[in-house]
Amino acid sequence: MELVNLKVASDTASFSQAVKRGLGQEQGLYFPTSVPTLANIDDVLAMPFVERSIHVLKALIGDELGDGTLESIVKDAFTFPAPVVSVSDNVATLELFHGPTLAFKDFGGRFMAQCLSRISNGEPITILTATSGDTGAAVAHAFHGIENINVVILFPKGKISQLQEKLFTTLGDNIHTVAIESDFDACQAMVKQAFDDPDVREGLHLNSANSINISRLLAQVCYYFEAVSQLSDTQRKELVVSVPSGNFGNLTAGMIAKAMGLPIKRFVAATNLNDTVPRYLKTGEWAPNQTVATMSNAMDVSQPNNWPRIEALIERGFLDKACLRGECVDEDYTQIAMRQLAQQGYTSEPHAAIAYRAVSHDLAEGEYGLFLGTAHPAKFRETVENVLGQPLSLPQPLVDCSSKESQAVTLPASYDALKAHMFSVLK
């Protein structure tokens, strides 16, 4: 596979190089120079999930990882299902929250962890990241127990929910968690300082494993194939997929799947009030506003960092712009959508509810809508309970970790203290 930096055309990379580097020169995103079209899509769709995912990823990545490597990566990463669940006659949801941290990030995170562990060839790596909740859990679980890779996760002490904290601080082993006596911005500033400090960057072989990594995106392509495989022929013919979007990684993956030949008629980019993209699609003007806080907080993004990849898919002729529409859903309609779903017997959280509202609003006669369920409702328990007015029970992974002891150490917001701690536990 050849990838090119969308900012610096002379900066190219193989898949392995792009996975290790994350971002390219001048913070540019890596993008495939070509997108293969799959032959015999119906046969591909008839395969089991893991086998089909290997087939799809082989078409994209090629043979560069060597015999059997991609196969074992996929088998180790994709160990949980992604079921399509019908919510009405013409709308269904793709539930992406059956992994260890109950969110779609488990697919990309686990695939990236398995790729890095194979690609690093036993060289030690330290993943350093700051979290305000969700990312920490996905990264911790994805890398837990992987040899030669240590993970250090900083989080603001007392500022994330107990349950969310337990999800990543109770693992131990190669997962080192640090509660910083400050806020999330201080945690992020300390991570940045570590990447700027050659002692730490080179001494501990730092890697950010951030969400822009190409391996995450390619992993996400696979669950769009899995979704369509569960639909009937009629549903496949008129399929509209609605994606709850913040940084637009999920939508980019879906559009790559379509470019590979997956039968998706069009997409709806569903956002909350941070609606830079829906406005851009309507007016042609890129005019980000100040980011506003909403109940779908993982989508509170006004400058989506994957957007250049979507533009590239269109500008380079892999897809027609007409296959993408945007819909902004405000706070009232988010709640209405959650209640409508509940009346139909389906409990959802704000992110998926936005995608549901957007597709219900947008669907034409005869079309079939599918919206992505990106997180388990229990991950947004308080909001869901408030909106629906009824208690929500916890799924097993949350019950299991809630009784375990946190192994996090507490440090002041001092870079020197963090550096000393890292060298003492990692060297």
Ligand X SMILES: Cc1ncc(COP(=O)(O)O)c(C=O)c1O
Is residue 274 within 8 A of residue 245, CB to CB? The reply is no
Is residue 102 within 8 A of residue 397, CB to CB? The reply is yes
Out of 247, 302, 406, 407, the only residue in the binding site for ligand X (CB under 6 A) is 247
CA distance 165 to 178: 11
Which residue matches tokens 């929500």?
Answer: 392
Least distance to ligand X, CB of residue 296, Å: 7
Least distance to ligand X, CB of residue 311, Å: 15
CA distance 207 to 272: 31
**Which residue number, 369 or 373, has a Cβ lying nearer to ligand X?**
373
**Which residue number, 41 or 212, has a Cβ lying nearer to ligand X?**
212
Out of 139, 171, 209, 298, the only residue in the binding site for ligand X (CB under 6 A) is 298
Please state the separation of Cα 272 from the chain's center in Å: 17
List Cβ neighbours of 33 (8 Å cut-off, separation of 6 or more): 2, 3, 4, 12
The packing angle between helices 249-259 and 307-315, to 10°, is 20
Q: Given CA atoms 123, 22, 68, 142 in this order, what sign does their dihedral have?
A: positive
> For ligand X, what does the binding mask look like between residues 95 and 134, x meaning CB under 6 A?
--------x------------------------------x
CA-closest candidate to residue 376, choices 163, 221, 176? 163
Under the criterion CB under 6 A, does residue 246 sit at the interface with ligand X?
yes
- Site size toward ligand X (CB under 6 A) is 14
| Region near ligand X per CB under 6 A, out of 65-73, 151-159, 244-252, 413-421 | 244-252
Out of 73, 338, 375, 387, the only residue in the binding site for ligand X (CB under 6 A) is 375
**Which residue number, 53 or 272, has a Cβ lying nearer to ligand X?**
272
3-state secondary structure of 215: helix
**Which residue number, 174 or 250, has a Cβ lying nearer to ligand X?**
250
Q: Given CA atoms 268, 270, 275, 276 in this order, what sign does their dihedral have?
A: negative
Least distance to ligand X, CB of residue 247, Å: 3
Residues 46-64 as b/e (b if ≥16 CB within 10 A, e otherwise) read eeebbebbbbbbebbbeee
Under the criterion CB under 6 A, does residue 250 sit at the interface with ligand X?
yes
Under the criterion CB under 6 A, does residue 275 sit at the interface with ligand X?
no
Least distance to ligand X, CB of residue 298, Å: 3
Under the criterion CB under 6 A, does residue 136 sit at the interface with ligand X?
no
| Region near ligand X per CB under 6 A, out of 243-251, 323-331, 396-404, 416-424 | 243-251
**Which residue number, 101 or 120, has a Cβ lying nearer to ligand X?**
101
**Which residue number, 149 or 353, has a Cβ lying nearer to ligand X?**
353
Out of 244, 254, 326, 377, the only residue in the binding site for ligand X (CB under 6 A) is 244
**Which residue number, 17 or 247, has a Cβ lying nearer to ligand X?**
247
Out of 170, 174, 374, 383, the only residue in the binding site for ligand X (CB under 6 A) is 374
CA distance 204 to 228: 43
| Region near ligand X per CB under 6 A, out of 84-92, 117-125, 241-249, 281-289 | 241-249
| Region near ligand X per CB under 6 A, out of 113-121, 161-169, 238-246, 309-317 | 238-246
List Cβ neighbours of 224 (8 Å cut-off, separation of 6 or more): 241, 253, 254, 257, 258, 262, 264
List Cβ neighbours of 144 (8 Å cut-off, separation of 6 or more): 151, 171, 173, 174, 175
Under the criterion CB under 6 A, does residue 249 sit at the interface with ligand X?
yes
Token pair for 177: 């968690």
Under the criterion CB under 6 A, does residue 245 sit at the interface with ligand X?
yes
Under the criterion CB under 6 A, does residue 328 sit at the interface with ligand X?
no
3-state secondary structure of 254: helix
Out of 191, 228, 299, 313, the only residue in the binding site for ligand X (CB under 6 A) is 299
Name the residues that contact ligand X, by CB under 6 A: 103, 134, 244-250, 298-299, 351, 374-375
